[in-house]
Amino acid sequence: MSLPEAKLYRLTATEVIARLKSGDFKVETYVRSLLSRIEEREPIVKAWAYYDPSHIIDQARRLDNTPREERGPLHGIPIGIKDVIYTQDMPTRHNSPIYDSSEPHLDAATVSILRRAGAIIFGKTATAAFAAVGDGPATRNPHDPERTPGGSSSGSGAAVADMHVPLALGTQTGGSVIRPASFNGIFGMKPTWGAISTDGQKIFSPIFDTVGVFARSADDLQLLADVFRLTGDSTTIPFQIEGSRFAVLKTVHWKQAEQDTVIAMETIARLLRLHGATVEEVELPPDFENLHLWHKQTINTDGAVSFYREYTIAKELLPEMLVRYVEKEQGYSNSDKLSAMDNIARLRPRIDDILRGYTAAITPSTRGAAPFGFKTGSPIFNSLWTALHTPVINFPGFASSNGLPIGLSLVSARYTDQRLLKVAKEVEKLLQSHGGWESKL
Amino acid sequence: MSLPEAKLYRLTATEVIARLKSGDFKVETYVRSLLSRIEEREPIVKAWAYYDPSHIIDQARRLDNTPREERGPLHGIPIGIKDVIYTQDMPTRHNSPIYDSSEPHLDAATVSILRRAGAIIFGKTATAAFAAVGDGPATRNPHDPERTPGGSSSGSGAAVADMHVPLALGTQTGGSVIRPASFNGIFGMKPTWGAISTDGQKIFSPIFDTVGVFARSADDLQLLADVFRLTGDSTTIPFQIEGSRFAVLKTVHWKQAEQDTVIAMETIARLLRLHGATVEEVELPPDFENLHLWHKQTINTDGAVSFYREYTIAKELLPEMLVRYVEKEQGYSNSDKLSAMDNIARLRPRIDDILRGYTAAITPSTRGAAPFGFKTGSPIFNSLWTALHTPVINFPGFASSNGLPIGLSLVSARYTDQRLLKVAKEVEKLLQSHGGWESKL
């Protein structure tokens, strides 16, 4: 791709890595292009909770001066960090006035690993308060500023879609990575629970909290999967759509899918069949129908523990929903919580058994396109997978009737993350060659 | 109790609270007594990774100047914090040269809650590296400096036993609270997993890591249980030994119990029966026999994720065992890990069902008394309860043949923490009235 320097922000991370290697431009030149893009777009998109251009330029210059043999696999790649993940050189405010002046001198495990790999820790992306509430931050959907970018990783999703950065980190306890990925028309990955360390990020639910990643291509997801050492592909055989076997999982929530999502699900099934895949509609056993309730009971009771600290500091500054968690006003008891946790745990090996019969399962990422306003949307199609600990990749490529992006989820058994990525790459190609939705940004 | 000011360090937290309320002495006077005790004993015991007398005195003076109506439930009570738990005004070094200059400006949730309750965050207690390895820090058992205080919460156990502080926080992923409590002849409590937030402490295994507390009396444990909002007692009826029903759980590891522990188990059964309790030996079903292996497989594979950050920073400074985790040299696969996690999860509701048939179960805390040297001892009698997420309280009161302390564990179903504390208080009285082991310190 031949781009003027001012347009370098359009490149994916994979493209930037190749061009930095061949000496086409400097890291500093590249980040200046991103900063110009942000300067132009940030007043509309509001993706950032914090970024400091001079600190970014400093990091870029230091990397430009790093000898080639000392450069890491993400040399010069800027990454946005959701503002519930600690960064030793920036504030972490959780979108809460309680943490207005909070600057933990501490890198989360993910941030530390990214720095060692040569990434530029670009800034903090806007989040719904504590990555826990349904009201988003000020961030707007770059495809239509009247709409939500989804959440809680709102800024990460919008910043990547709007080409402020090629990559970003998010977190998911319900649907906080997959939903904004779908609404913003980008790739998002929630790996297997426990596969990436959550050390150094705010805890909401210890049994569900998962680090997630955003990118504009499946190859870019791969970069982060490798740096974070995701596993789960014992074969080296390249994956092919032809001869593969996909499950279509409409789930018990299917009646909540809007027409746009229904059409996207039909489209992918048709395309996969056209290219030689078997596609079967699969119904989950009745035990799986309560997953959404059990997930809710668990996060409610976990929230009572996780936000008790903030409640003791300044109850009046805590979002009302979190106050209700702490005051246990939802009426869920410890015994409800234990049943919920134990029931979910029982279903994990069972979903693995079901999913192992397929190349991957395809299921909605969101009810439909991003809604108007500041509510981040429903996690109804996400929370069951978060509860079940399986890897999920949102792939974009579908359009709603009014031209907004719609994504779908690829799901596979726990610890098959790398294999699922291979599937995502082929699905990406399939949609590109069939003229799927493309960003107008 | 009438003590000269210089001996105030001998008081329990409960006693200190009562005497501060009645104005017998100032917080400053009390902490000066502790500081003198430490000055005398620390060269032998080496319980502390960090403490700053002037910062302690500052906190004490500020508390002395706090109007009575603004004082919290732990007003003036000094607490030692294990050095894997973040404190915004002190370093947190994890007993690792990698973190020599690490000062996260961040309080863990527990530390923040304690501060709001009026506690004095006294200093950081010595820990085995990352609360993860079997080699202890320099800390010595105050009852015999040739011996280990246990670990990994070595400093917390020794500091409370040696009366440097009345209370301390620890963490347990295997046996890191209950073992040092037993070896030091004090109370230790590992609450139900998830009942206290682990936010702001180093993660080893997200599914096992639990905050624990140390004290010299069950009443003192109660203070922390209340401040941390532990639940699990729906009755207000005081618990009585008479008419209660105890299970004796020797477990499949019983052959590893030394003679001193065998005698302690016999003694408590005899005493309980003498006071009108029913005591039944209970054998766990065969499925429970693999818990120790499943626990090991889980922490090994979790360790590969949790210490990957440090591995990328300075592999050569990481303890060899953690390098082996990261390099996956133990031969445990993701599939082993999933089976282990799923199998353990399946047993949690089953152990609850068994334990609900009894007032509490009694089981060994340690193989025997503290061994010589710097290895912190075996977690063989602890890791199954950590895996099963049940609350455990170590109660002291037994002596080994050579006069060292031996403790035993009280165990009950998940989320019956407050009830278990009531049981511990009665067991404590029982042992006191029968002339159990008493500290010579």
Q: What is the DSSP string of A237-251?
A: SPP-STT-EEEE---
To 10 degrees, what angle do helices B334-355 and B291-306 make?
130
Output the pLDDT for position B329. Answer: 87
User: What is the widest separation between alpha-carbon atoms in chain A?
Assistant: 61
Burial status of residue B7 (CB atoms within 10 A of its CB: 0-12, 13-18, 19 or more):
middle
Contact B199 A231 (CB under 8 A): no
Q: Which of B74, B110, B173, B199 has the most A C-beta neighbours within 10 Å, making it the best mutation to test the interface with A?
A: B199
User: Distance between CA atoms of A398 and A404, rounded to whole angstroms?
Assistant: 8
Q: Which of A102, A106, A202, A416 has the most B C-beta neighbours within 10 Å, making it the best mutation to test the interface with B?
A: A106
Residue A46 has what DSSP assignment?
-
Instruction: Please check whether residue A13 is in contact with residue A223, taking contact to mean a CB–CB distance below 8 angstroms.
Output: yes
Please compute, for residue B144, the number of CA atoms within 13 A of its CA located in the half-sphere on the CB side. Answer: 17
Instruction: Please check whether residue A216 is in contact with residue A188, taking contact to mean a CB–CB distance below 8 angstroms.
Output: no
Shortest CA distance to A337 belongs to which of B112, B189, B352, B228?
B352
Catalytic option among A33, A112, A156, A176: A176
Complex ipTM, two decimals?
0.96
Per CB-CB distance under 8 Å, the chain A contacts of B345 are 342, 345-346, 348
User: Distance between CA atoms of B149 and B143, rounded to whole angstroms?
Assistant: 9
**Tokens encoding B312:** 């990328």
**Average pLDDT over all residues of chain B:** 96
Q: Going by DSSP bridges, is the β-strand pair B48-51/B120-125 parallel, antiparallel, or unpaired?
A: antiparallel
Residue appearing with tokens 């009810």: A367
How far away is chain A from the Cα of B367, in angstroms, using its nearest Cα? Answer: 31
Instruction: Please check whether residue A138 is in contact with residue A145, taking contact to mean a CB–CB distance below 8 angstroms.
Output: no
CB atoms under 10 Å from CB of B276, counted, come to 11
Per DSSP (E only), the strands in B365-436 are 392-399, 405-411
Output the pLDDT for position A6. Answer: 82
CA nearest to B334 within chain A = A415
* Strand order, beta sheet including B120-125: B48-51, B120-125, B78-82, B167-172, B210-215, B187-190, B392-399, B405-411, B360-364, B245-248, B278-281
The secondary structure of B258-303, three-state, reads CHHHHHHHHHHHHHHHHCCCEEEECCCCHHHHHHHHHHHHHHHHHH
User: Distance between CA atoms of A56 and A36, rounded to whole angstroms?
Assistant: 13
The residue-averaged pLDDT of B330-350 equals 95
Q: Which residues of chain A are at the B interface, by a Cβ-Cβ cutoff of 8 Å?
A: 86, 102-106, 109, 112-113, 116-117, 194-199, 202-203, 206-207, 229, 231-232, 302, 305-306, 308-309, 312-313, 334-335, 337-338, 342, 345-346, 348-349, 352, 414-415
User: Distance between CA atoms of B381 and B152, rounded to whole angstroms?
Assistant: 15
- A401-410 per-residue burial string, b: 16 or more CB within 10 A, e: under 16: eeebbbbbbb
User: Distance between CA atoms of A131 and A145, rounded to whole angstroms?
Assistant: 21
Burial status of residue B54 (CB atoms within 10 A of its CB: 0-12, 13-18, 19 or more):
exposed
Instruction: Please check whether residue B280 is in contact with residue B247, taking contact to mean a CB–CB distance below 8 angstroms.
Output: yes
How far away is chain A from the Cα of B256, in angstroms, using its nearest Cα? Answer: 31
Of residues A109, A198, A309, nearest to B197 (C-beta): A309
Instruction: Please check whether residue B295 is in contact with residue B435, taking contact to mean a CB–CB distance below 8 angstroms.
Output: no
3-class SS at B121? strand
Q: What is the DSSP string of A202-219?
A: --S-TTT-EEEEEESSHH
Name the CATH architecture for the domain at B8-286+342-433: Alpha-Beta Complex (3.90)
Q: Going by DSSP bridges, is the β-strand pair A392-399/A187-190 parallel, antiparallel, or unpaired?
A: antiparallel
3-class SS at A403? coil
Per CB-CB distance under 8 Å, the chain A contacts of B349 are 338, 342
Q: Which of B338, B339, B353 has the most A C-beta neighbours within 10 Å, making it the best mutation to test the interface with A?
A: B338
**Tokens encoding A290:** 């309560």
List all residues 6 or more positions away from B68 whose beta carbon is below 8 Å from its beta carbon: none
How far away is chain B from the Cα of A228, in angstroms, using its nearest Cα? Answer: 9
List all residues 6 or more positions away from B239 whose beta carbon is below 8 Å from its beta carbon: B359, B419, B422, B423, B425, B426
Residue A323's alpha-carbon distances to A95, A304, A315, A334, in angstroms, are 16, 8, 7, 18
Q: Going by DSSP bridges, is the β-strand pair A245-248/A360-364 parallel, antiparallel, or unpaired?
A: parallel
CB atoms under 10 Å from CB of A300, counted, come to 21
Contact B229 A195 (CB under 8 A): no
To 10 degrees, what angle do helices B417-433 and B218-227 make?
170
Contact A308 B229 (CB under 8 A): yes
Given a cut of 70, whether residue B175 has pLDDT beyond it is yes
CA nearest to B92 within chain A = A106
3-class SS at B80? strand
Given a cut of 60, whether residue B1 has pLDDT beyond it is no
Determine whether B197 is an active site residue: no
User: Distance between CA atoms of A433 and A436, rounded to whole angstroms?
Assistant: 8
Given a cut of 60, whether residue B202 has pLDDT beyond it is yes
Catalytic option among B33, B176, B244, B378: B176
Residue A313's alpha-carbon distances to A308, A318, A323, B114, B280, in angstroms, are 9, 9, 12, 11, 46
**Tokens encoding B432:** 């006191």
Residue by residue, pLDDT tens for chain A (441 residues) are 568 888 999 999 999 999 999 999 999 999 999 999 999 999 999 999 999 999 999 999 999 999 999 999 999 999 999 999 999 999 999 999 999 999 999 999 999 999 999 999 999 999 999 999 999 999 999 999 999 999 999 999 999 999 999 999 999 999 999 999 999 999 999 999 999 999 999 999 999 999 999 999 999 999 999 999 999 877 777 789 999 999 999 999 999 999 999 999 999 999 999 999 999 999 999 999 999 999 999 999 999 999 999 999 999 999 999 999 999 988 899 999 999 999 999 999 999 999 999 999 999 999 999 999 999 999 999 999 999 999 999 999 999 999 999 999 999 999 999 999 999 999 999 999 887 899 999
Determine whether A82 is an active site residue: yes
Given a cut of 90, whether residue B235 has pLDDT beyond it is no
How far away is chain B from the Cα of A170, in angstroms, using its nearest Cα? Answer: 18
Q: % helix / strand / coil in chain A, to the nearest 5?
A: 45, 15, 40
Of residues A197, A202, A309, nearest to B306 (C-beta): A197
What percentage of residues in chain B have a pLDDT greater than 70?
99
Output the pLDDT for position A208. Answer: 98
Contact B334 A231 (CB under 8 A): yes
CB atoms under 10 Å from CB of B167, counted, come to 25
**Tokens encoding B156:** 């917390």
What pLDDT, in 10s, does the model give residues B377-393? Answer: 999 999 999 999 999 99
Quote the Cα angle for A188-A128-A394, to 5°. 15
User: Distance between CA atoms of B372 and B115, rounded to whole angstroms?
Assistant: 37
User: Distance between CA atoms of A157 and B308, rounded to whole angstroms?
Assistant: 27
Per CB-CB distance under 8 Å, the chain A contacts of B191 are none
Shortest CA distance to B85 belongs to which of B112, B67, B58?
B112
Output the pLDDT for position B239. Answer: 86
Determine whether A101 is an active site residue: no
CA nearest to A198 within chain B = B203
Name the CATH topology of A5-286+342-433.
Amidase signature (AS) enzymes (3.90.1300)
Q: Which of A199, A205, A301, A347 has the most B C-beta neighbours within 10 Å, making it the best mutation to test the interface with B?
A: A199
CA nearest to A232 within chain B = B334
**Which amino acid, one-letter code, is at B244?**
S
User: What is the widest separation between alpha-carbon atoms in chain B?
Assistant: 61
What pLDDT, in 10s, does the model give residues B64-113? Answer: 999 999 999 999 999 999 999 999 999 999 999 999 999 999 999 999 99
User: Distance between CA atoms of A140 and A123, rounded to whole angstroms?
Assistant: 18
What sign results for the dihedral spanned by CA atoms A35, A41, A45, A46? positive
The residue-averaged pLDDT of B338-356 equals 98
pLDDT band at B331 (very low <50, low <70, confident <90, very high): confident
